[in-house]
Structure 1
């Protein structure tokens, strides 16, 4: 009853889908490395380029068990596309991901976390404050969504989409965080920046001293500065290959 079903779909899918599976599995393993996982909860989802199909984690697997082959392929309505898969998905988790993938067809990936720091900052009225360089990146494209209970209500989808708009960073009030990205690497780097921003904010506020807020004009100009730093590339394009190598060293089986 405790054995994990072994599957191998490498020779059953397109090269593009297999590459997406490898990168998405790597992202799940990075959650473990960074301590962002939450038992079997939260999700990363990715659209298979050129299709309307998504990949998401199988419900019941810990993130260090996720491989390229055991990711579940679904349509935008949450129906499992591969009838031979032995796995199911979490409908509550899919509500959030379906909403953002429908609204943001141009973005490949959505990350959702329940880290202590993102929940804490999402649970105060002020939200994320301009206290660190990490917060600059997030505040340049930030949105908020009020808590409505467990995400199983289809009526919440439109409100979530409206709140997300064109932003790449979202704090889910009393719940956690969501980031979007044109690639899996972009979505990961956005989440890295947001979590670090929340961590720094909690540490600064815990000192009891008066925080020094960055002027809004600097926040407004951070996108142009970031393009100079990354030579026109996104943060994901720049850092993602190194993250992939890190996962391969730590978890050699993730790409099976």
Structure 2
């Protein structure tokens, strides 16, 4: 019998392992969360202290929108993770999954006044579709939540200034794919800027057209990609 909550646990644990596999983890820090099916006020998040490659479906923790553990024996839950993720899930009914990273490339781009540039096909996935949130210190204060939500708006991605990257997916696979591509766009930008040569940007018309092509997904690549990533996540488990 199909168990929707077990399926979500499997997918979310896969994202943690994929983030580690692709070098986007930060020791035991940063977080990925997913909404529990049929229980919209409850989320799954990692047990604080686990390496991302150690996360299993069973080790994920159930929390409510206030960041309090709702089930199971008490375990550590990262306060900043709860502050960031809970408000986004609460404000965005479409937010099935939220991914947050502190990669070197993502943080570097977050420190640039110009932010993410529309330099290439990968970056254009986010053209006119990304928010920016001003750094306020470590996200421990719930007063910051309203500003996080406002700065994200209805976008599926946000750059947290001087901090890192965040993506929001209608599915767990979409949230991971957005983060992978946002990370790659940041790495590509830094490599191009590192040459010291003049950068060539596509026209605004081409940028808008490419972003719309991504939205349409005519080949159904999003689902095919996630099925492949699920297989990769557990390949060596």
Q: Secondary structure at the match of 1:37?
A: coil
In 1: Cα distance, 2:163 partner to 2:24 partner: 14
Alignment of 1:241 onto 2:230: no
Counterpart mapping for 1:129-208 below 5 A: 129-208=117-196
Instruction: Evaluate the alpha carbon distance shift between residue 204 and residue 55 of structure 1 in structure 2; reply closer, same or farther with a 3 A threshold.
Output: same
Structure 2 residue runs without a partner (length 5+): none
Partner of 2:110: 122
What is the TM-score normalised by the length of structure 2?
0.95
Does structure 2 conserve the Cα–Cα contact (< 8 Å) formed by 1:24 and 1:44?
yes
Deviation string, structure 1 residues 160-182 (Cα, Å, up to 9, x no partner):
10000000111000000000000
What is the TM-score normalised by the length of structure 1?
0.88
1:45 to 33, 54, 58: 33
Partner of 1:5: none
In 2: Cα distance, 1:226 partner to 1:138 partner: 9
The CA deviation at 1:229 is: 4.5
Does structure 2 conserve the Cα–Cα contact (< 8 Å) formed by 1:21 and 1:69?
yes
Q: Secondary structure at the match of 1:132?
A: coil
Tell me which stretches of 4 or more aligned residues in structure 1 moved more than 6 Å. Answer: none
Does structure 2 conserve the Cα–Cα contact (< 8 Å) formed by 1:109 and 1:184?
yes
Please tell me the root mean square deviation across aligned C-alpha atoms, in Å.
Answer: 1.4
Does structure 1 conserve the Cα–Cα contact (< 8 Å) formed by 2:127 and 2:211?
no
Partner of 1:6: none
Deviation string, structure 1 residues 134-171 (Cα, Å, up to 9, x no partner):
10002241110000000011111011100000001110
Partner of 2:59: 70
Partner of 1:11: none
